[in-house]
Structure formats: structure tokens, C-alpha cells
Structure 1
Amino acid sequence: MRILMGVIKDRHGTYCARKTVPEKPNGLQAAVARELNNGKAAQKHLKRSLGTKDLREANIRAKPVLADFDRIIAKAKASLAATTVPTVKRTSLNDTEIKRMAEYVYAKALAWDERVRFGGRDEMKRIEAEIIRLEGAVEQPLIAQEQWPQRGMPRGVYEENKAELLDTLREMREAAAMGDISAVQDHVLEAMLAFNVELDQHSPAYIRLSTACLHSYLRALEDIGKRDEGITVEAPPLALPGAAAITADGGTLKDALEGWKRHRARPKRTVDEFSRSVDMFVQLHGNMSVAVIKKKHALDYRKALQDVPRHRTGDLLHATLPAQAAWGREHADEPRITAATINKQLGGVQSICIWANENGLVSDDVQWSDPFSKLRLPEERSERTSFDVAELQLLFNTTLFIEHRFPLGAHGAAGFWLPVLALFSGARQAELGSLTRPMCRQMSKRDWRCSIS
């Protein structure tokens, strides 16, 4: 049976209001149980009889009950928040995020309808098992599973679902006409959970997201109605952040990253930096095909990086790029990451995209150009200059190099070898400081040329 608007039937045909308690934040279901004072360890769903077998009357009675459920959950969240470290809530979303989350609501509604409509007896068993796992109980269906066909649905279920859809569609249209975004609150919360977004519900961004989700859900109901008339409507894939997808344009950014890793052995530090750059791009735009990444995507990525605060602690340290950028915009006085860091992140994604184009992950039919070209920011020039010959002679004439007497600050042999390696290799301090013994042996085999005569 299709579950819409939080209204279901019990085994006797009487309608009930039901709302699932989210699994996140962690501990919320236990907090709801404490709020109800029912002795349970956790409350996975809230349910109350509406005392009617008429769907129209049930929908009227359900609204204040569902609102009461929302208040219970809100109080439980407040009590939970009082005993936990507060999380960083976002107050803004970009257009791409809102579009993708609204598309998720549409795709999920059609995917659920497709499971019920075409799945048959076996799929209904799987659905029941999922509901029991998530909510702990399931109502006895009006038509027993054994009476379902191997594929498709019984006529009685089809007719009942079709009648319910018409009522729900009417209510959603009224909600859209009145701007009542609360009608899709559950769908909005599911989308935020799926995309790992903690959005302040009092922010303008929440209204924009809810409006987009309302329109998407309304469009989904209209397309489900077309299916009821026998018209084919395909369900789009559920595109979550980081989900891989191969399109006609070629491989995705994540595919390119994995191919680049396998292509040849690379320093761990480089792999980690490039992976981090790609992850942040995916957090902002999703796992796009390399061929469809345009200059605007690269510019939006750079703009988000420019808003990232330099000093990040607590939840902000592990937050996504959009969350960090949003926090930075709200705290304009906080220092930002440097241009050098931004250029490094831009260069990481750029290198992976160029590798993808050169290694067949962009279709030959696509006219590809580097979207990250000429996007690097000007960096502050270092005031440090190179050592001249006299300074080098003064340095290497000390007792550390002549008599091998290591002062405390030299940290043993490191104080001797790091300056020597720097002299002959020209490598940076950070690069030399991270060397391992095998890497040093490899360096010793090279024909380094002395930089002084």
C-alpha cells in the first residue's frame, strides 16, 4: 500500500496518523521515548488512530495530530541538544544543492511507486522487512502478501492507491497555491539527511529548499497519476553526493580520480591532496561527468573555497565545503584560507580533469576545454631570498658539519642531513621533512648537482 501524507490504514480499515522518527541526530529516537515517558528504550515511529474509515475526513483529522508529532520531536531534539555539543547549522544553500535535493525528492517518490507497482509479492516482502527494520512494526495489509501476484499489484490495491493519489494530489496543489511548505516537511528532512545537510529551519534557504521540494513532489504525484493511466514515466536515478554515474558524455570525476590513482604509483601526499580536492568539488556539485564540468562550476568552486575560514575546529573541521563556506560568509571577520591553498585545491581537480580527457574518460565526440584554466589567484610573493655563497660557507663551516657535534635543536642526525639534502636537491623543507628511509635511498641514486660552485 502506498503511504502518503503520513496517513495509513490499520487492519480494520481505520485510518491512523503515523510519523517516522529520524535516526539522526544520534539519540533522537531515545529522546522521543523519554519525552513520551513510555518506558521504551527508543521510539522509531509515532502513531495515533484518527477514528474514521473515510480518507477525506482522515486527512482533515491528521493535520493537528501530525503537528503534535512535530512538537514532540522538536522537544526531544531540544532536550538532546542541551546535553550534546551543538552542531554547525547552515543558513544558505547554492542553486545546485537545492536543485539536486529537489530532484532527489522527485526520484525517490517515483522509485517507491515503481517498487509497489511492478515489484509483486517478493518486493512487498522486502518492503515489509525494511519497515520492520526501521520502525519496529508494520500494519497488517488489507490484502495479504500471499494474494499478491508474482509481478504487479492486485486490482483492489491499484484502485485504492489511485483514489488516494487523487486526494493527495488535490491537497498538494492546494498547499502549493497557498505556499504551505509544511506539507512536504518530511520529504525535506529526508533530503537533508540523504545529503548530510544540517540546515537552519528559520533561514531563507530552508524556505527555498522546501518550495523546490514541494514543486518536485507535486510533479512526482502528477507523473504517478500518468502511470495510473498506463502512461510510461521512467524513474530517474537517485543521485546522492558522491554517487558514481556513467553518462553518454563519459566517466565521472570520481572515476577519473580512481583511474589516475591506478595509472602509476604516486606519492601518498599527492594522492591525499588530490583526493581531498575532488571530494570538496563533489560536495559542492555532485559527482559530475568530467565532460560536463564547465567554467561556471569551476568558478563556483573557487568562490566557495574563498569563503572557507582558515581556523576550523570542532564540527566545522569535518564539515563539507558548502557548510564551511556558509560559516565563513556568516563570520566575515574571520581570516580565510590563503590564495596558495585555494590554488592547490583548484590545481588538484584540474589535474584529474586533464588526466581524464587525455585517457579516454571524455568522449571523442565532446569538444572539451579545461574549465580551470586561468582561474588561479595571485599569491603573495615570499620575502625570503636564496642564500648566497658567503652565507652557505658560514653555515657549513659550523661545528655541526665540521666536527659532527649535534646541538639539542638539531634533533640528532636530522640537523646534519636536512641542510645537505636541501643544498643538493633544492627541495622544500616540508618535502624533506616527510622523507622516509626508502625515499632517501632513492634520492641517493640520483645525480644531484650542487647549486654552488
Structure 2
Amino acid sequence: MGRMKFVQRRAGRYEFRFPLPDVLAGKPAPQPWPDSMAVLVNARTGRFKTELIRSLQTTERKSAERKVLAHIADAHRLIDQAQRYLREGPPKSITPDQIAAMAREHEIHLLSQDELIRERGLGLNLAVEIDLAEEDERPHDGLGMTDDDLDVYRLGIADLDQNVRAQSAKMRAGEAISSFVNRAVEQRGMTLHPEDPAWRQLEHAFIKAQRSAFSGILARLEGDEVPTPARPSEPKGETLTASLTLWAGAGGAGARKPQPSSVAEATRAVRRFVELHGDLRITAISKVQARAFRDALVKLPKALPVRLGRLPLPELLKQDLSKYPRRNAQTVNKTLALLSGILARAERDGFFEELPAWSNPFHVGFDVAPAEREPYEPFSTAELQRLFSSPVFAKGERPLGGRGEAAFWFPLIGLFSGARRTEIAQLKIGDVRAGEGGIWYLDITNEGADQNLKTVSSARSVPVHKELIRLGLLDVVAARAKTQPQTAPLWPEFAAPIDPKVKAWTKWFGRYLGIHAVDHSAKTFHSFRHTFKRACREAGLSEEVHNALTGHSGGGVGRRYGRERRADGTLDCGISLPRLQAEIDKVSYRDLKLLIDKS
């Protein structure tokens, strides 16, 4: 396993080194700069640091890689805050209503804590402790306060009350009040400028709230009934799980719906969020909670044994997960994007109309390094030669994980059509058919109940390459058509539901590829698509043509002009089948020798 990013060994110990992005590194920091982000700025020069460096306090690599995850999450959080501050300037001050609500919540908290303390008691009984032998001591029963409890507690509250009265008289908050204010601001995900008058307004409001609470507690200690005020009612609106259902349903016939695989992933993401925070009303979800969820995802591996995968997220985070491969930033961002999409749909439906300043809390994804954004690379000729000289192709072997003929045909179809793995897996017998001029083509569509496409432009007709015909693909189709209807799956092992079977097959192919051809994270089944695109350019195909073959949406709105409806009712892509046939047959891999055993 390669060394983890941002971990460096120096003088025998490991340290965290995190480069700041170019928009910050070395640039002057606006003054005054918020204290909460002061760690990003060199106090001597007044400029942003070029990198964050922190000791991980260990000489063990595995320990360093566990510890660094929290530092990575914290660094991304700080950089997100700094970029937002530079982009938007100092946040607008909070409203008087917000200040009143926060102070009221503080008073309710103090009165609630008082109820708990007096209900359970402190367990003091000085007479028993002085007069009785050790063997006669009796534990406190926890049923209210003793006389000694009451005396000590009354003295403590009176002292606190005098202290807060002095703060009120001086109009200056003490350390305790300031810490309560800081915590309340942080919990709500707010960032106030150090000079914002709201700080003093909040401190004064909290002093008044604390005085009111202590007055009520002292009255209670004299036997008066002082009820704890009710907490503010829950925000109105749908819960996150209810919003997931609305998003997945997506309307009636003809409405564009999320892919089943996306719905499944979003369902898992919502389940994990609910495990961490509860099934919150969507209007109550804050960026603080979204960041906490994001930082929890960072700590999870990309795959887990079933027994661990079933644990709730808080319990799972307590386990030692260091031996499992780590989840990358792109995966975390994908999960956040799904949750963001659920809330974006709710916003279109009007659930946030009463919150005019609402912004999507799940827009807290990581900035992914440019080198990681497009990880796939085309196969080299040598890698293709090793693959197609391996046992599946040269000896006719059919491993169990390869699901029969899929092990043989999926890579070949990918190489000579650029089709995605799911597009190949979901083909029906009738999706390989002859069209204009007797030209055989793959009808890549989402017309079937269990067929889905990545984008609208993915629907297309791809002529069967002459090399696939030579290798016998049409014979496979004809053999299946003799015993099965046209709507049956072309590949028997890929009956619905397809998604889990495609994922399992992909894992098998990744292992097979690593053993026989190339073991590199940038080389996967999707590399066939990149390989085909490169071969199209090498063969001189225009971008318009090879986009039509691969289902890419380049070319603007004009690309959809000129489409004709075929005899079977389907639309072409604006380029005739004969032209596409002539163009795709130009694609070749000149130095690749396919010595295929189809037996």
C-alpha cells in the first residue's frame, strides 16, 4: 500500500503536512482575520501560510495514518471557511430574534439542569459521614435532595447569582458567559466577525438569561413552583427520509427519475446520516451537521465485512478500521451530492420558502486534487495484448465470477464500441438487430423496465464493429433468439435486478485484470471507453461522430437537429447507420493480435 497523502516522516516522527490551495497560499489575509481561522495565517507577515504542519506525535506509520484523518477533515473545514470568508466577506450579523432565541435556549438549559440535579440529589449527608462507622454507611438513594444537599446547593447558586449580577452591573461578561456564547454560535454554524457588535449583544442577552434562570432556581429552593419554559416547537417541514421518498418518486409518467443505483446509494447515505443525527426536518439541517457527517464518512473504509457494515454509524466509528482500504474524497463528495440533490428537489417544491436565506447544507464537499478528478486512463497495446492472451480469451476458460460468456464478451464489446459496462449488461436479445441496409447495431436504450442510462444523450445506436462480427457476436445473439423472446436478457446471468450483478462482475474483472494485464487504479473496465475514444481520434473520426458512438453530449443543441425516426419508431442520432458503420469500422488496434479461443 502506498504512503498516505499528507503524512510525512521527519526526524524519526510523523507529521501532517497539508498544502493550502493556490487561492490562499502566500496571499495577504484581510484584517482583522477571524480568530477561528487564525491558524491559517502567519502572524508575523500577515499572509496565508503555504501549508499547515502539525506533529502527529508518533513514530508508527499505522498510528500516524489513523491520526491524520481528523487533521485532514479539520484542514478542509478551515479552508472552506476561509474561502467563504474571502468570497462573501464578513458574515452578516445575526438578527435580534436569533439573539433572543439563543438566550432563551440558554435559560431553558439552566432550568432543566436544575431540575435534574434536585431530582437526583447530590448525596451529601454530613451527619452520617461524621457519626457512623464505615460499615454502617448507606449509599444515597437518588430520590431528591438531603438537607445538606440543599444547603450546599443554595450557597452555590447564590454565589453564582451574585457573580452574574456583578457582570450585569459592569456590562461586561465573564469567561463563563463568553464560553456559553461561543458554544451557541458554533453549534449553529455561524461565523461572526471579531468586531461584530452581535458579540456584545449576545453576551448581554446571556447575562440576562442567566440572571432570570438563577432567580427561578433560588425561588425553587424556597419551595416555589417555577416551571421550566417549553422549548421552541420543532421546525415544520418534511423529514430527510420523507424527502428521500419524494426525490426517488420524481413524479408521474414521463418525468425524469433518478437511476435505481442512485436511489440505492442515496438510501444508504440517508440511513447513515439518520444514524448519526436522527431523522431531522430538512429545514433544521445545518452545515455543522453536514460537516460532521462528511468528516465521519472520511473515517469509513470503502468496503467493510457484513458484520461491521450492519453497525450504526456511531458504533462503527468506535471500531478499529485501520486495516481496511480507505474511502477517497471523490466517494465522500458523491454521497454529499446525492443528499444535496434530495434537498435541491425539496427546495424546488417550496419547502424552504419560509427560509429566504437558506443555502444547501450539503455543499461542503472536498476540493479534489486535479490529478484525482479523472483517474481513468486508456489501456496500452501491451496491456491489451496481455489481457486478450489470458485464459478467458486464449483458452476458453469461464471463471465463476465472470458470469459465463460475459467474461469473454464484455471486454471485447467495450473495446470495439466504447459502451459502458451497465449498457452492455442490460442488453436484451432484441437490442442487437439489423437496421437500414441490413446493418447490425446495438440499440442502447432505457426503454425496458430494468434498463437505465447515465444521461439522456447515452441513448444511441452503435453499429456492431466488423471485428465483433468476425469473432461471432451475432452467432451468440442468434443462438439466444432461438429459445428466448426478444425481450429476454442477451446475457443469461444478467436478469433483473442488474445493478448488484454488474457490481459483482466489476469486482471480478478488476481482480482478473490485475492478475493478467495491469494492476493500477487508473486502469479499470471504464478504460475501454477511454481506449475506444483514443482509437476513434487515431482513425480520423470527427468528434461529432465518435460522440454519437459513445453517447457523449458534446456539440451543443445543434447535435439534436436532423434526427430521423426509423421504421420501428425509434429516433436516430442525426447520423445515418451506414455512415456510422463506415466510421466505426475504421477503428482498429493495429499492433493487437487477437488469438481467440471461443470453444
Does the pair score TM above 0.5? no
Structure with higher Rg: it is: 2
More helix by share: 1
What TM-score does the superposition give when structure 2 sets the normalisation length? Answer: 0.31
Q: 1 or 2 for the larger relative contact order (CA 8 Å, sep ≥6)?
A: 1
